[in-house]
């Protein structure tokens, strides 16, 4: 047998069926027999596995007509459909599932696993996790691509050479770059991007918007400063939230603390607001209600300040001075009682906001090195939520005839923001969540030109983003909705004043006048919408505070306090 011929087929394995000698075919049969002898591998008809490939899987299912070229490195659990290719120097590790007709270019890595990063342990001692990579049918992955754990790539996609894919890719999308972003829909033969008004028009508008927002951020913050405190807008009363919104806006657009005070003064003022006995922060000039028998205080402003003040301090490189003892003292049994007592059927938003505050308090307590709550309380919280999510909607709570799904969806955002999203835990029933949210987003009572407010749009955009990290279900529809909403949102900016919150039913909320709350929320919404359309990198910012997309901590391994 000519050694040169072996080289040729190892590196050009698609020629094997047409050109292999009988001796080469016999060698390939023996190679496959050895791989399948242990019972952990299944190899279909007309497959080729180079003897120069390192194939050491825990489980392998190779669909018929597939091949593995020289120097490919395959470990972990790998399953493919028919006609898949692993070209030279491909690396596949962890849990990876391919559909049919997936072409993988040379030197590409599919990394279906990750290391934990807890700071008290060296990296080589960290446990590994695996959410897995899933790739649909008819996908071309170019050379030197990196696909990270947890990513799902839809059907008919093209991944450009050198791309680093960190998030899900919808059906028919062509993506490229680091991090990979949407280029165009493969079906658009004229090269125009679907959902982008005027072809590249939205890209230009997003870039111009981000530049404008940065340039005008100092005047927006100065407009809200009365010389001693921040107000949402001129004429309004100073509030704790306004101070926190100012810090979030400055961090997002200026990468600094608001210029009205030195950073250390911002920290001192916010930390001084905390009540040492409960760990809560009352509204400016107002007392906290008396705690109940279990030490918990039910006060809407104080519970929201767990989020806003905690993250404002975090952005400034600081933290609460005291643990949130109002939550730290909740036993698992009492927590479950309080969960059961929440008004899930009539006021799902209220119930969700309560979970948000409790889970966020647990997060800050862990950050301070104290117990998040009573023994087993955090585990009890997630256990209760996971076992009581409605499989029809993916959510918790009921609907109201006068409001439709408004309470249900808005409560879902608050609940998952503080629990599943903040702790990096996958949400249950992501496909049903997407169905419910998209159905709600079509309700003309709450959405459409002149009717959008920051709360309602955020409470749709974030669940779609969060559930979309786990599933490509209706991904194209999500992208179209996000694009249309983004186009409307960019028109809401008031030069030199920022965003208004928007129309508020029954007079609640800050209303249409531009102010700090509307600006902070819509800036986060713009990022979420732009990320759903694959264009967030054009903004040059990524929320890190209350409305951050990324987990603040990841999974049960981080639930034990540091000692």
Active site residues: 115
Cβ burial 195-228 (10 Å sphere, 16+ → b, else e): bbeeeeebbebbeebbeebbebbbebbebbbeee
Helix count and strand count (H, E) for the chain: 17, 19
* Other residues' Cβ atoms within 10 Å of the Cβ of residue 66: 26
Nearest-angstrom CA–CA distance, 521 and 471: 26
Nearest-angstrom CA–CA distance, 45 and 88: 21
Please give the helix or strand (H or E) that residue 432 lies within, else none. Answer: helix 430-441
290 burial via Cβ count (<10 Å: 0-12, 13-18, 19+) = exposed
Nearest to 275 by CA among 239, 249, 234, 306: 306
Residue found by looking up tokens 């003309």 in the block: 444
Residues in the chain: 563
Under 8 Å between Cβ of 265 and 259:
no
Measured torsion, CA atoms of residues 392, 393, 394, 400, in degrees rounded to the nearest 10: -130
Residue found by looking up tokens 């264009």 in the block: 535
Under 8 Å between Cβ of 529 and 487:
no
Measured torsion, CA atoms of residues 478, 96, 193, 189, in degrees rounded to the nearest 10: -130
Nearest-angstrom CA–CA distance, 216 and 250: 11
Preceding omega of 179 cis (within 30 degrees of 0): yes
Nearest-angstrom CA–CA distance, 109 and 74: 10
**What is the DSSP secondary-structure string of 85-152?**
EE-TT-EEEEEEEE-SSEEE-TT-EEEE-EE---TTS-GGGSPEE---EEE-SSEEE-TT-EE-TT-E
Nearest-angstrom CA–CA distance, 112 and 150: 7
Kind of pairing between the strands at 173-176 and 181-185: antiparallel
Identify the DSSP state of 29: H
Strand order in the sheet with 102-104: 48-49, 67-68, 85-86, 102-104, 139-141, 158-159, 173-176, 181-185
Nearest to 527 by CA among 517, 537, 518: 537
Residue 239: partners with Cβ closer than 8 Å, 6 or more residues away = 230, 231, 232, 283, 284
């Amino acid at each position: 047998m000519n050694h040169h011929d072996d080289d040729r087929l190892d590196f050009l394995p698609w020629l094997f069926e047409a050109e292999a000698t009988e001796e080469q075919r016999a060698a390939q049969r023996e190679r496959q027999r050895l791989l399948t002898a242990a019972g952990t591998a299944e190899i279909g008809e007309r497959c080729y596995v180079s003897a120069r490939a390192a194939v050491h899987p825990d489980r392998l299912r190779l669909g018929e007509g597939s091949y593995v070229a020289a120097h490919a490195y395959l470990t972990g659990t790998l399953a493919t459909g028919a006609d898949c290719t692993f070209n030279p120097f491909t690396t596949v590790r962890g849990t990876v599932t391919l559909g049919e007709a997936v072409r993988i270019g040379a030197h590409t890595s599919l990394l279906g696993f990750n290391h934990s990063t807890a700071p008290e342990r060296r990296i080589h001692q960290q446990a590994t996790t695996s959410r897995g990579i899933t790739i649909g049918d008819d996908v071309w992955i170019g050379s030197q691509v990196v696909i990270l754990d947890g990513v799902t790539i839809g059907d008919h996609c093209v991944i450009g050479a050198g791309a680093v894919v960190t998030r899900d890719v919808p059906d028919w999308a062509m993506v490229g770059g680091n991090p990979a972003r949407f280029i165009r829909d493969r079906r658009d033969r004229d090269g125009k991007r679907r959902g982008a008004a005027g072809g590249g028009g939205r890209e230009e508008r997003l870039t111009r918007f981000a530049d404008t927002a940065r340039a005008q951020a100092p005047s927006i913050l100065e407009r809200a400063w009365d010389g001693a405190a921040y107000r949402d807008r001129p004429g309004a009363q100073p509030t704790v939230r306004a101070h926190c919104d100012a810090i979030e806006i400055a961090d997002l657009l200026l990468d600094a603390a608001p210029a009205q005070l030195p950073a250390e003064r911002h920290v001192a003022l916010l930390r001084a607001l905390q009540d040492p006995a409960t760990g809560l922060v009352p509204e400016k000039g107002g007392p906290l209600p008396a705690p109940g028998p279990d030490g918990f205080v039910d006060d809407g402003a104080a519970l929201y300040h767990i989020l806003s003040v905690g993250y404002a301090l975090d952005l400034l490189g600081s933290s609460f001075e005291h643990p949130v003892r109002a939550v730290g003292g909740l036993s698992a049994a009492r927590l479950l009682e309080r969960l059961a007592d929440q008004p899930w059927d009539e006021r799902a938003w209220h119930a969700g906001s309560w979970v948000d505050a409790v889970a966020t308090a647990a997060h800050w307590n862990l950050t301070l090195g104290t117990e998040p709550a009573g023994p087993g309380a955090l585990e009890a919280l997630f256990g209760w939520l996971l076992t009581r999510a409605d499989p029809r909607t993916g959510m918790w709570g009921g609907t109201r005839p006068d409001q439709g799904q408004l309470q249900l969806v808005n409560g879902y955002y608050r609940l998952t923001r503080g629990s599943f999203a903040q702790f990096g835990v996958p949400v249950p029933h992501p496909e049903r969540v997407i169905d419910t949210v998209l159905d709600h987003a079509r309700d003309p009572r709450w959405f459409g030109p002149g009717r959008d407010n920051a709360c309602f749009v955020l409470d749709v955009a974030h669940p779609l983003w969060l559930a979309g990290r786990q599933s490509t279900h209706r991904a194209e529809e999500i992208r179209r909705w996000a694009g249309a909403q983004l186009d409307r949102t960019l028109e809401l900016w008031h030069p030199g004043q920022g965003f208004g919150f928007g129309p508020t039913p029954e007079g609640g909320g800050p209303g249409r006048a531009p102010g700090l709350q509307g600006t902070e929320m819509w800036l986060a919404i713009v990022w979420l919408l732009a990320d759903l359309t694959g264009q967030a990198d054009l903004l040059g910012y990524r929320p890190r505070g209350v409305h951050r997309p990324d987990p603040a901590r990841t999974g049960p391994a981080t639930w034990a306090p540091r000692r």
